[in-house]
Structure 1
Amino acid sequence: MTPAAQAAIKPDFPAPLADTGATDLVAKVRGLGPAFAARIQAADDSDSFVAANFAELKAAGLVEAGVPADLGGGGAGVAELSAMLREMAHHCSSTALAFAMHTHQVAIPAWRWVRQQAAPVAPLLKRVAAERLVLLSSGGSDWVAGSGKAEKVEGGYRIAARKAFTSASPIGDILMTGAVWEDAPEGPCVLHFGIPMKSPHVKVLGNWKSMGMRGTGSHDVMIDGHVVPEEGVALKRKQGEWHPLFHIISMIAFPIIYAAYLGVAENARDRAVAMAGQRRPSDHVVSLVGRMDTELRAAQMAHAAMVRLAETASPSAATTNETMIARTLVARHALAAVELAMEAAGGAAFYRDNGLERLFRDIQGARYHPMQQGPQATYAGKIALGEDIATVF
């Protein structure tokens, strides 16, 4: 087999396209991909947000892809959205990850609308579709424990918080976030709400200087004095314990987020095969390529399990356990696949111009999303032993 023919072979399990809807979304991204790829090096070198790519995603109608059709959107489910983001990562890792953060903030209320007939989510979803709003997530800052301070004032709550890892913050419209109300009558609780990024009390700090995923614009966002009206609070929950909403978040958000990382690993694999084909043939290189594909296939299988859960399961502690086990496996095997890609490609992988070094840096982000390896293993162990997991996150 010639090197060119060898390079053309790509893993085809699990199938990247779930159905016709996914095919349409992937085709749109594939059409935008060359322009995304042409911009990626400049964004990486300058730590600049991929704003032009987001503008093109908006123009293509992908911002509202996950909004249910009866609310004005594309009606895409988790499988379709994951396929879209997986393809996106083949062209620009940062665009895929930053867009995944918006996408999962749409997919969660969309699931609640479709599965639970949750009327309160409809106005936001309609606005996303009609106005092509970009929703921001503050990631780990707003995991189960919550962060920031909410002070009760007349008619609402004054917020003081610093939210890290707020991807796409330079162009976002609404930050979906929360804060801790320490003085609540029933004890400390977390309030959930959206804050308009145009508020004079919101500031993007411009501090995203990272190892990888440099174009995501994941700056800290400072909230200092914005007042959320009482009617603007979507949920109040006890601080520091799992709430049913977080089982929905775990089930829906993480296959979408990790689709981006799976796409990064697939991109690295393709580049490594092409580069390995140019090296002097040896059993060692052949073995490295085989080990790389084995690790990648494990990541693909684990991600497929996450998607199946999101499409078919009900949110629960058990479903969260299965999702988070799969999340750990996707991360572990994607990281291993990209590390092997660096070895299989040889010394050429060390040159920035070849792009593999950037993907090696980008994939490292897969380590840091909840639930990280330690808490996830504790959670799984407690589930297996029938112990309480209420405060394990």
Structure 2
Amino acid sequence: MSVTGILAKAEAVAVTPEPAELLARARALAPALRERAAKACAERRLPAETIADLQAAGLFRILQPRRWGGYEMHPNVFYDVQQILAEACMSTGWVYGVVGGHPYELALFPDAAQQEVWGEDDSVLVSSSYQPVGKVERVEGGFRLSGQWGFSSGSHHCRWVLLGAMIPPAEPGGPPDMRTFLVPRADYEIIENWDVFGLQGTGSHDIKVDGAFVPEHRTHKAVDGFLCQNPGQAENDGPLYALPWAQIFLRLVSTAALGGARGAIAGAVEITKSRISTNTGKASKADPILLNTIAKAHAQVEEMSAVLRRNFDDMLGERATPLTLEKRALYRYQSASVVRRCADLVDDLMPLLGGRAIYRSSPVVQVWLDLNAARAHVANDSNNFGPDLFGSLVGDPPSFMFL
């Protein structure tokens, strides 16, 4: 890296904003995000100006290492920003969560991979699809990767992608080796097939790779993330990067639901304040069932948000021993339950708000669709993780390392 680049990074670190400033920047973007939400849905991707605004506000740098011009902040700052953005536009919150979380995983890769992505431009963004559907062949110095992956959110705005695949054992009968492969834009094609009923603006199109060479240093072993012993920690040695990667990732795909649900609740409050039923002549604000449903939704969203903050405070707190598998299983389960709980809360509100609530112009209906679309993510189904949580209570080892 040039001397100019080193000095620029040093200056960026020196002017790292306070968390409150980053939250204020996110709130300042909310009106524009609301105005662009319909365009994002129609075009099946976030507008370029939205990505530019997030970049200019420094929001993608919250989990990025300081040595690469990032802020290396507590995860709660990142998830607070994600909730604010998602309250205005859940597709924006979703893309921000996923793409904005990838600097964390990239920091765990060998330094050579970080140099390739950020060496010339530390604002480069990365998308992903972790489905282990890739076909891998071992070759000298690395691997040949092929396949087609779905659900790569924000892919049109990114210059690299992270893709999941299982590597054939080096020896017959050897253990499975799940890895994430880092692939540059020149080596993959975006297949535009994102045609869905919710989260339309996330632009989660397919990624196709045909025999791309991926050197060893551009892979990240799942077992390293589980053990919290990643190559990138040699250079990125702060406590942030010693956390289990799974705990960061799981919240990237569930936290937007908290912001989305808050947006739906705010919309329900506005409707309730002034609505008079044309059939009964009664005011909605006199309906105790509706008022209790709104109150329940508000209280439970705040509870889930508080649990998220508590869990990361615990993970980054002073401790003499590593985070126990029992806590990791609990925190994974709590994350996985968020989206379905939020979807159920908003689903309960919909029939109580009257016929106008089902119009596309309603402040509730798009969030309702977004939340139900978000339920489809495998990490947002707590039934996948309940057996491991139970197992942790009786001393059994986890069946799935991603926790």
Q: Normalized against structure 1, the TM-score is what?
A: 0.82
2:52 alignment partner, one of 40, 48, 55: 55
Within a 5 Å distance, the mapping from 1:38-49 to structure 2 comes to 38-49=35-46
In 2, are the aligned partners of 1:67 and 1:106 still within 8 Å (CA)? yes
CA RMSD of aligned residues (A): 2.9
1:353 alignment partner, one of 361, 368, 371: 361
Residue aligned with 2:133, SS: coil
Q: Does 1:157 align with 2:143?
A: yes
- In structure 1, the residue matched to 2:334 is 326
Residue aligned with 1:86, SS: helix
- In structure 2, the residue matched to 1:189 is 177
- In structure 1, the residue matched to 2:290 is 288
Residue aligned with 2:308, SS: helix
User: What is the one-letter code of the residue matched to 2:398?
Assistant: I
1:389 alignment partner, one of 375, 382, 398: 398
Give, in whole Å, the separation in 1 of the partners of 2:222 and 2:75. Answer: 27
Give how far 1:357 is off.
1.1
Give how far 1:312 is off.
2.4
Give, in whole Å, the separation in 1 of the partners of 2:90 and 2:222. Answer: 35
Q: Does 1:135 align with 2:126?
A: yes
Residue aligned with 2:60, SS: coil
1:64 alignment partner, one of 57, 61, 65: 61
In 1, are the aligned partners of 2:340 and 2:381 still within 8 Å (CA)? no
Mean CA deviation greater in 339-348 or 219-228: 339-348
Give how far 1:344 is off.
3.6
Give, in whole Å, the separation in 2 of the partners of 1:360 and 1:245. Answer: 37
Within a 5 Å distance, the mapping from 1:267-306 to structure 2 comes to 267-280=263-276, 281=283, 285-306=287-308
Give, in whole Å, the separation in 2 of the partners of 1:207 and 1:360. Answer: 22
- In structure 2, the residue matched to 1:372 is 381
User: What is the one-letter code of the residue matched to 2:30?
Assistant: G
In 1, are the aligned partners of 2:129 and 2:164 still within 8 Å (CA)? no
Q: Normalized against structure 2, the TM-score is what?
A: 0.80
- In structure 2, the residue matched to 1:310 is 312
Give how far 1:169 is off.
0.8
Give, in whole Å, the separation in 1 of the partners of 2:139 and 2:20. Answer: 50
User: What is the one-letter code of the residue matched to 1:362?
Assistant: D
- In structure 2, the residue matched to 1:170 is 156
Mean CA deviation greater in 225-234 or 164-173: 225-234
Residues 1:258 and 1:380: Cα distance change in structure 2 (over 3 Å):
same
Give how far 1:188 is off.
3.5
In 1, are the aligned partners of 2:155 and 2:203 still within 8 Å (CA)? yes
Give how far 1:196 is off.
0.9
Give how far 1:326 is off.
1.4
Give, in whole Å, the separation in 1 of the partners of 2:116 and 2:30. Answer: 27
Superposed CA deviations along residues 87-135 of structure 1, whole A, max 9, x for unmatched, are 101221111101100122223456x6xxxxx974993698289431112
Structure 1 ranges of 4+ moved more than 4 A: none
Residues 1:60 and 1:128: Cα distance change in structure 2 (over 3 Å):
farther
Give, in whole Å, the separation in 2 of the partners of 1:231 and 1:392. Answer: 22
Give, in whole Å, the separation in 1 of the partners of 2:214 and 2:116. Answer: 20
Give, in whole Å, the separation in 2 of the partners of 1:120 and 1:254. Answer: 24
- In structure 2, the residue matched to 1:339 is 347
Give, in whole Å, the separation in 1 of the partners of 2:383 and 2:116. Answer: 35
Give, in whole Å, the separation in 2 of the partners of 1:378 and 1:99. Answer: 31
Give, in whole Å, the separation in 2 of the partners of 1:147 and 1:330. Answer: 27
- In structure 1, the residue matched to 2:84 is 87
Residue aligned with 1:389, SS: coil
In 1, are the aligned partners of 2:37 and 2:89 still within 8 Å (CA)? yes
In 2, are the aligned partners of 1:147 and 1:161 still within 8 Å (CA)? yes
Q: Which runs of 5+ in 1 are unaligned?
A: 1-19, 113-117
Give, in whole Å, the separation in 2 of the partners of 1:290 and 1:274. Answer: 15
Give, in whole Å, the separation in 2 of the partners of 1:128 and 1:295. Answer: 45
In 2, are the aligned partners of 1:250 and 1:323 still within 8 Å (CA)? no
Q: Does 1:123 align with 2:114?
A: yes
User: What is the one-letter code of the residue matched to 1:260?
Assistant: A
Question: Alignment identity in percent?
Answer: 24
